[in-house]
Amino acid sequence: MAPASQSTLVSPISATPTPSSERKQFLWQRPKLSRNAHSSNTGTSHRVTFSGSSKGSIKDKDKDKDKDKDKGYHSSSSVSHSDTSRPPSPGPPGQNTPTATEVWTPLPNGQKRVWQKINRQTEATWQPPIPPSPPAATPRPFLVYNDAFLTILGATPALSTLIADDRISYFHNAGIFYSRTNTLFLSSSPHPDPSPSAAPSRHLAVTLSKVDFYSPSEFTRDKVRTPEHTYMPHSGCAYKSGIILCAQGTLQEPAALVFMDAKRPHKTYPLLTNFNGTQLNSPHSCVAHPDGSLWFSDPQMSQGEGGFRPRPKLPPLVYRFDLERSDLRPVVNDLVRPTSLAFSPDSRILYVLDLPLAAGGAANGNANGAGTGVQIQLAAVYAYSVLPVGPAASPFLTGKRLFAMPMNSPTSLVTDLFGNVYVGCSNGVHVFDVGGCLIGRAVTEGPVTGLSFGRGGELWISLGTKLVKCQLGKDIRAGGLGV
């Protein structure tokens, strides 16, 4: 609000100083009505009359009546504001309290001037007219916060919808790109399945599909039909001659890490179902390390009443699984709901997306604001340093630090060859540099549910019922070395 000395609001009555005897006429006070409403004065100056009554003695009202007669006002009962900028108002004779209809009647004696009704409440606050809002700017698919994002976009960046299918959310979870055959595997969200075989999952099923690319504009799409159970797959990663699926399990079938051949008939082989004899919760995300180990998150999701998994028996953890030595070891135990994982290009940093508890979830002591009586939980991306220890070079995680805190419901993350971190959010894909600074954003038409890099600068964005292709610079590709 501007200071009083610089105010641009000017009273519609007058901007010229007036004598003290007339200042009271400018005040917004409830007008006084005289006792005698009849008057034979027919002066040319008129006042707006109000229908209310004011407190005061009869003598005071008579004084006001005499003053009005001396000044040539139309009626002694018409005591109001001396607004010289407004048209005159008639004072209807013969009535002590004029009605609202009579106040806004045309002038007598055949005068042509008429009244325009004004919102007196708005006028009393001296609010200037609000100008119309300017037209909204044309939305742009890419927002640049730092010039470093221009290098990522390349010469001809573009966002285009490759597939749209409104039947169910076929493109719900993070895609798994298998570069050897240029195939993108995708899993759907749990959808109703009335078949008896879906009873253990409360009649819910997850559909696994794949898209085979033959050229930038030619592709085929098909469902993946495996001879064995896939245990409600969520996401996964490419691994050697196939892919690793994070199977969430059901009320009867355990959660597991499952290896699936990339080629038909897509045979599956369970690799891991428990930790020291206790069933896993629901593996969410998995990444491969160059040493051949698998790192995966196991939050407490899809469990409890209404879910398709039993109540959890393990805390939310991040594991490292060494397949050669059959060694499973927790590496992170201080997060609320660890979900998506991604390695830096040199695999020396592990990024973990931590989500807050769901509505009604039980606290585990990791909520911000502990000890204050208020639990404020926000999603955040944490970075851990991968530290090899011992003769077998079995790595540990150390140096936990807050990398970024996206405020728009993050769901997934990936890294590129230059160390930039891409986080899928409800309003698009947020891109952070290696220092955690937001440098750009790709705006999408809906919440992002999954991200996956393809070939030649392709970033595949899952939007539930749509699969969107984000074309970046030709030299942009996935940052993890993989296996």
Cα distances (angstroms) measured from residue 215 to each of 171, 365, 390, 467, 470: 21, 50, 47, 16, 15
Tell me what the mean pLDDT of segment 465-480 comes to: 90
Rg, Å, the chain Cα set? 37
For residue 385, count other CB atoms closer than 10 A to its CB.
15
Tell me what the mean pLDDT of segment 240-246 comes to: 91
* Range from 137-141, 146-150, 237-241, 301-305 carrying the lowest mean pLDDT: 301-305
Long-range contacts of 263-269 (CB under 8 A, 24+ apart): 263/181, 265/226, 265/227, 266/224, 266/225, 266/226, 266/227, 267/226, 267/227, 267/228, 268/226, 268/227, 268/228, 268/229, 268/230
- Whether the predicted pLDDT of 422 surpasses 50: yes
Confidence of residue 462 (pLDDT cuts 50, 70, 90): very high
Tell me what the mean pLDDT of segment 239-264 comes to: 90
Confidence of residue 301 (pLDDT cuts 50, 70, 90): confident
Quickly tell me which residue has 């990791």 as its tokens: 366
Catalogue the E-assigned strands of 112-154: 142-144
**Of the candidates 338, 332, 282, 284, the residue with the CA atom closest to the CA atom of residue 311:** 282
Q: Report how far residue 344's alpha carbon sits from residue 417's, in angstroms, rounded to the nearest whole number.
A: 8
pTM of the complete model = 0.69
Res 62: pLDDT: 53
Which 3 state secondary structure label does DSSP give 120? Answer: helix
Quickly tell me which residue has 């993890």 as its tokens: 480
**Of the candidates 380, 337, 286, 342, the residue with the CA atom closest to the CA atom of residue 480:** 342
- Whether the predicted pLDDT of 78 surpasses 50: no
- Whether the predicted pLDDT of 399 surpasses 90: yes
Helix, strand and coil content of the chain, in percent to the nearest 5, comes to: 10, 35, 60
Res 316: pLDDT: 94
> Taking a C-beta distance cutoff of 8 angstroms, is the pair 290, 483 a contact?
yes
Q: b vs e for 104-131, b when ≥16 Cβ sit within 10 Å of the residue's Cβ?
A: beeeeeeeeeebeeeeeeeeeeeeeeee
Top pLDDT among 323 and 193 is at: 323
Task: Quote the tokens at residue 402.
Answer: 């807050």
Tell me what the mean pLDDT of segment 372-376 comes to: 59
Please list, in sequence order, all residues whose beta carbon lies within 8 angstroms of the beta carbon of residue 343, skipping any fewer than 6 positions away.
Answer: 287, 289, 295, 349, 350, 351, 415, 479, 480, 481
Reported as a single tens digit per residue, the pLDDT across 43-74 is 444 444 444 444 444 445 455 555 554 544 44
The three-point CA angle 130-134-137 to 5° equals: 155
**Of the candidates 343, 320, 326, the residue with the CA atom closest to the CA atom of residue 394:** 320
Q: Report how far residue 365's alpha carbon sits from residue 367's, in angstroms, rounded to the nearest whole number.
A: 6
- Whether the predicted pLDDT of 360 surpasses 60: no
